[in-house]
Structure 1
Amino acid sequence: MGHRKTVQQLKLQLQYAQARKEYTPPVREVGESGKHRKSQKVRYEVMSHPGTDKLYYTIRGAFNSFEFFVEDTVAELGLGAPVADGSPPRGFKPAKIHATKSNGEGTVKHAKDSGRPYLSYQPTGGQSSYSAPISSRQGTTGVITLVKTIATAKKEVLGPYGRVWFTPEFYVLVD
């Protein structure tokens, strides 16, 4: 025995089918592309490699994030110019520094579905969060010192509710 659909269900299905038939996707403006953030290849030194020799990978990082964290060169983040080092194995995650900017006064916004009002401290216009790979020849302690230095330097730019944090490297043992 099958389940019979109610009149209400059939009406909803018809309404959905008509809406799909009438839908035309928006036309992209000429010369415009999607939100593509420029990235840059850098040489990353693996800090948790168990061997005695150094291990390097070529990874990508967002250009905007590099500009935000360091004004001069990516060498300040412990990264180097890309060389044919090879790409990291699947599952490898480099150590990263993250930052989020905020406003002092919240703006009232409304949730899409429920319409519930809430306060947003996100700055209007422009990028509000950044993340970039970070490495150090001194290992984890060197990276922590570097993150603290960057955090104090960017304190004014972040705003009262902004913050800087660090995620450690996840090294995958590969044979």
Structure 2
Amino acid sequence: MARRKSVRELEKQLEYARNRAAYKAPDREDGTATQRRPKLSLAYKPMSIAAGEGAKKYRVQASKESVQFFTQTALNLVDSTAEDPLPRGAQPAKAHAIVADASPEVIRAAGSKRPYVHYGKGTRGSKSQYSYTAPFSIQSVAAMDTEIRTLFNSVKSKLGGAYGRVWYSPEKFLITGSGE
């Protein structure tokens, strides 16, 4: 059973809700520059069917900035020689990282004016990229733990201090067939 909220908490939540309802995002002006995020086409070897160098590789796209951050060799990716994209619904294994500032700052949300702690590199509106996600190809299932730790150690110095994070999400590979 949840505890009862005090009148002060309810008033504060109501204030945030009113601020959020009254907020109107600024209109985007015609002709303003957009941020370009170029992609690279790379060959990815799924862990589910990774049997040596002869295993089938699939074509995946990755952010150029993310591949440069993690380095292509640490991600075990090669330039795309693969013809086929990943099957529909499949997701490659991914390495994620968030680069932080040495000291986080408290800022207020634009809509609700609710305070929160910003850990990422740069300030609001600085357009500096601080989160990176890239596909990660496992070479052998037996050495998976070692490969992931090697990847983590290769970027540890780039994370910007104690608030930087790096993590791994496993692949979701679908193998489908028909009843015919």
**With structure 2 as the length reference, what TM-score do the two structures score?**
0.71
Q: How many residues align?
A: 146
Residues 1:115 and 1:145: Cα distance change in structure 2 (over 3 Å): same
Contact 2:70 2:154 in 1 (8 A): no
* Deviant stretches of 4+, over 4 Å: 50-53
Higher CA-based Rg: 1
- Which amino acid is the alignment partner of residue 56 of structure 2? L
Distance 1:24 1:81 in 2: 40
**Alignment correspondent of 1:64:** 65
Asked if the contact 1:49/1:171 (under 8 Å) is kept, the reply is no
CA-to-partner distance for each residue in 1:58-92, whole Å, 9 max, x for gaps?
Answer: 1101110111012xxx2432212212421111100
Task: Tell me, in whole angstroms, the C-alpha distance in 2 between the residues paired with 1:117 and 1:99.
Answer: 24
RMSD of equivalent CA atoms: 2.4
Tell me, yes or no, if the aligned pair for 1:78 and 1:135 is still in contact at 8 Å.
yes
CA–CA separation in structure 1 for the residues paired with 2:162 and 2:50: 41
> Does residue 78 of structure 1 match 2:76?
yes
Deviation at 1:27, TM superposition (A): 1.4
Deviations 1:84-103 (CA, angstroms, capped at 9, x unpaired): 42111110000111101112
Q: Deviations over 1:30-77 (max 9, x none)?
A: xx4x3331110011111102989622111101110111012xxx2432
Unpaired segments of 5 or more residues in structure 1? 1-22
TM-superposed CA distance for 1:113, in Å, is: 2.8
Query: Secondary structure, in 3 states, of the residue corresponding to 2:100?
Result: coil
Deviations for 1:112-148, whole angstroms, at most 9, x for unmatched residues? Answer: 2332222212111421110111112212x43432221
**Per the alignment, in what secondary structure is the counterpart of residue 112 of structure 2?**
coil
3-state DSSP of counterpart to 1:40 = strand
Change (3 A) 1:48 1:119: same
Q: 1:137 aligns with which of 139, 145, 159?
A: 139
Q: What runs of 5+ residues in structure 2 fail to find an aligned partner?
A: 1-25
Identity %: 30
> So what's the TM-score if we normalise by structure 1?
0.73
Aligned to 1:160: 162
Question: Relative contact order (alpha carbons < 8 A, sep ≥ 6): 1 or 2 greater?
Answer: 2
